[in-house]
Structure 1
Amino acid sequence: MGRTAPKMSAVLADREFRALWFAEAVSVGGDQLTRVALAILVYQRTGSAFYAASIYALTFLPALAGGLGLSQLADRYRRRTLMVVCSAIQAVVVGVMAIPHMPLWVLFVLVIIIPMVQSPAMAAQNATTREVFTDDDLYLRSQDLRGITTNTMMLLGLGGGGLLVGAIGTSWALIIDAITFALAAALIQYSVRNRPTAGSKEDAWFAGAKWVFGDRRLRVLLTLSWLVGLAVIPEGLAAPLAKEAGAPEQAVGWLLAADPLGFIVGTFLISHFIPAKHRPKLIGVLATASVGVLVLFFLKPGLVWALILLALAGAVGAYQITVMGVFNSIVPNEIRGGAFGTARTGLRVSQGLGMAAGGAVAELTGSTMNTIAMAGLLGVLIAVPATITWSRIHDQDETKSPTAVTPSAADHQDAA
């Protein structure tokens, strides 16, 4: 009843999580450098915007296949071993990319390998964190810290990646990224417990995906989570949005930074002012608000108001952390890697489709702001019934187990 929520620093007292958190932070920062460095390198050597954009896109696209398929390796092999091996492979691959005058076709092949290998590593890390923190309050706090850290590193990469690459050169930027992966491998090897394999190699392939889509609670959660495909449309339309708002070209960077900055602030506020036991109840409300804010673009806001709206959308969009926290608490440990891969793949697909659809609609309507507002309206139409359904499901779960903050994997296994 009167339990005080743990401070965010409390999770850093755990040696295992500290290693996982730091390894992820340096890897994310290095990845931002690599994306910028490769785009600049390819453009310098070809003079082609198409090739520069293609090499950047290839840092994202292979994660789709890897997320759905290779993430299941996190259930079939020891998770610490998988994280170490994947980080070591990435260190070698990026190191090879740093070699001067590497043929472009080799770079394109190597770029595909990195996110493919990263998918099972992320699944293993995600599942291991839930094993480290069995306490719901501590676990949610750890996810808050991860969300704040990764978005901060992305912001730093967005703001300073180009400047740093310009100062030290593309090869050195890639070498730095290779070092971050090697450092991550060492940290995990020496600080994370070598737990037994969670699942079995005899388990059916895609068992996690089948389990996820067969569970009503998880289907509703993912519906609310994948609304990000609509919420991310302003990011894909940042350049024409700045023009329609009558803003200078440099405002494009501000518009891109508004959402992740809002996400950081929102995560901090939710973490500090909303107790863990109440956060699952607010998932639907915050999800609806994250797209509902975009409807206000029908009013044709100027640059300042556009930045405020996008930051606000990002702030309430921090509900995504609670979604994954509840998701991981429902999914049994032995299929958590594959299940996470399913959720993450859907998130990536929704973002890609959302950006593509947003661009097409903006082209047809001739108005970026109307496109963003229509995306928000569609999101609300999806979010409201999903929110009502989630509220009923959550109330039923609380009735069955009134002391539980989030449904436990054991409870779900019994119910299944």
Structure 2
Amino acid sequence: MSAPLRNVEYRVLWAAEAISSAGDQLAKVALSILVYHRTGSALWAAVVYALTFLPALAGGLGLSFLADRYPRRAVLSLSAAAQAVLVGLMSVPGMPLAVLCLLLVVVQLAASPANAAQNAITREVFDDDELYLRSQDLRGITTNTVQLLGLAGGGLLVTAVGASWALAIDAVSFAVAAVLVRAWVHNRPAAGGEHSTWFSATRWVFGRRSLRVLIALSWLVGLTVVPEGLAAPLAQQLHAPSAAVGWLLAADPLGFVVGAYLLSKFVSAPQRRRLAGVLATGSSALLALFLLQPNLALALALLALAGALGAYIITVTATFSTWVPNELRGGAGGLYRTGLRVTQGIGVALGGVVAQATGSAVTAIALAGLAGVVLAIPTALCWTRVRHSVAAGTLQ
């Protein structure tokens, strides 16, 4: 597990991402509290929180190609520096709400080329597929651990230091990330150069069946994420205390961390690719067991196990990046991440609609699991055929 950290470049990239992710978790909580206290409107608080996601979708498709067109170290460090300045402005006390929202949109747009550059550089750092996959395991574990810590203490920390100081901490985290990347990541020439244009990677990706199947496997996460959007009504339906909302939200990322660790520790890269379809199906099947009308303890266990099997997504993401040529990796990665976030958003929204229509969060989660199984089985079979064809050299 720790082998990738022996590489200085990766160690810096990992630390920079961990630091900025922790700052982001803090900033999301701070913004929600700040806006709600200023406006007294739950709707405004929700709108501002949504702005932490929506611009990233447009940026993922429209701006990620910059990580191919220009040197990736420059894209990553300049994006982080820009985010540091913008979030620093957001931390100024009394900033008008309209300006705050505008700054937030620009911050999220700047995140898209930075994420694309980060992922592409990491693939450049490791020539060995096994070591690269381990590096992605470590990133996944770190990101979900930061999410858990944010759920556990983000609100308390913001309450203690204040929303403006929390945003200032986020700004500092971006500045630190920019300095680390500039100082220790190698300056490589642009991978794609002038040949990289808007949507060139998108056209290339959708022209390959192997990559289309990998994208389909990733989109299954849109159904397994449904319980996150129903944590509050689920806790109420289970007659659980209000604190159980946090437990239900934490169960999936906690399971994911454990699953990612076990896969990284005990399963080789080829075996993990073989198991990807099975794990994807199993993750949805565990949610389908909500048909049994579980109590709180069983619900937490099912969510944690689904999260553990859901760690298959690390293998899918790493394989996708490996199968895309370096000169298109930034734009292709932006397409992949955008699709993942869109399906998650749609899944949560549909889960809410079903829960409202049926009057039951448990039923909505079970139906999401059943739908996931129905979609996962043919996708897994396609994945098996594609994997064999790629191994035999008969499919791109």
In structure 1, what is the Cα distance between the partners aligned to 2:200 and 2:368? 33
**1:261 to 2:261 alignment:** no
| Structure 1: runs of 5 or more not aligned | 1-7, 402-414
Match of 2:141 in 1: 148
Match of 1:110 in 2: 103
Q: Specify the SS of the correspondent of 2:88.
A: helix
Q: Is the 8 A contact 2:69 2:197 kept in 1?
A: no
Q: Specify the SS of the correspondent of 2:241.
A: coil
**1:16 to 2:9 alignment:** yes
Return the match for 1:75 from 62, 68, 71: 68
Matched residue type, 1:233: V
In structure 1, what is the Cα distance between the partners aligned to 2:121 and 2:334? 14
In structure 2, what is the Cα distance between the partners aligned to 1:10 and 1:202? 35
Matched residue type, 1:209: T
Q: Is the 8 A contact 2:196 2:328 kept in 1?
A: no
Return the match for 1:351 from 344, 350, 356: 344
Return the match for 2:244 from 236, 245, 251: 251
TM-score under structure 2 length normalisation: 0.98
Q: CA deviation at 1:400?
A: 3.8
Match of 1:304 in 2: 297
Matched residue type, 1:180: S
Matched residue type, 2:330: G
Q: Which runs of structure 2 are paired with 1:38-117 in the superposition (5 Å)? A: 38-117=31-110
In structure 2, what is the Cα distance between the partners aligned to 1:383 and 1:98? 44
Match of 1:406 in 2: none
Match of 1:210 in 2: 203
Return the match for 1:293 from 275, 282, 286: 286
Matched residue type, 1:197: A
In structure 2, what is the Cα distance between the partners aligned to 1:289 and 1:78? 40
Q: Deviations over 1:39-67 (max 9, x none)?
A: 11111111111111111111111100001
**1:129 to 2:118 alignment:** no
Q: Which runs of structure 2 are paired with 1:348-387 in the superposition (5 Å)? A: 348-387=341-380
Q: Which runs of structure 2 are paired with 1:25-40 in the superposition (5 Å)? A: 25-40=18-33
Matched residue type, 1:32: Q
Q: Deviations over 1:136-160 (max 9, x none)?
A: 1110010000000011011111110
In structure 2, what is the Cα distance between the partners aligned to 1:388 and 1:235? 28
Q: Specify the SS of the correspondent of 1:278.
A: helix
The number of residues matched between the two structures is 396
Q: CA deviation at 1:200?
A: 2.3
Q: Deviations over 1:90-142 (max 9, x none)?
A: 00001011111111111010111111100110000000000000101110010
Q: CA deviation at 1:244?
A: 1.1
| Structure 2: runs of 5 or more not aligned | none
Matched residue type, 1:119: S
Q: Is the 8 A contact 2:251 2:303 kept in 1?
A: yes
Matched residue type, 1:129: T
Match of 2:275 in 1: 282
Cα RMSD after superposing both structures: 1.1
Q: Specify the SS of the correspondent of 2:222.
A: helix
Q: Which runs of 4+ in 1 moved over 4 A?
A: none
Q: CA deviation at 1:205?
A: 1.9
Match of 1:159 in 2: 152
Q: CA deviation at 1:213?
A: 1.1
In structure 2, what is the Cα distance between the partners aligned to 1:159 and 1:71? 32
Q: Specify the SS of the correspondent of 1:12.
A: helix
Task: State the percentage of identical aligned residues.
Answer: 61
Return the match for 1:234 from 206, 227, 231: 227
Q: CA deviation at 1:381?
A: 0.8
In structure 2, what is the Cα distance between the partners aligned to 1:279 and 1:355? 28
**1:219 to 2:212 alignment:** yes
In structure 2, what is the Cα distance between the partners aligned to 1:204 and 1:130? 21
Matched residue type, 2:335: T
Q: CA deviation at 1:367?
A: 1.3
Q: Deviations over 1:160-210 (max 9, x none)?
A: 000000011111111111110000000000110000100022334201111
Q: Is the 8 A contact 2:65 2:197 kept in 1?
A: no
Matched residue type, 1:53: A
In structure 2, what is the Cα distance between the partners aligned to 1:9 and 1:343? 27
Q: Deviations over 1:280-312 (max 9, x none)?
A: 111100111111111100110000000000000
Match of 1:332 in 2: 325
In structure 2, what is the Cα distance between the partners aligned to 1:233 and 1:297? 12
Match of 1:410 in 2: none
Return the match for 2:179 from 168, 186, 194: 186
Q: Deviations over 1:208-258 (max 9, x none)?
A: 111111110111111111111100111001111111111111100100000
TM-score under structure 1 length normalisation: 0.94
In structure 2, what is the Cα distance between the partners aligned to 1:290 and 1:229? 12
Q: Is the 8 A contact 2:65 2:196 kept in 1?
A: no
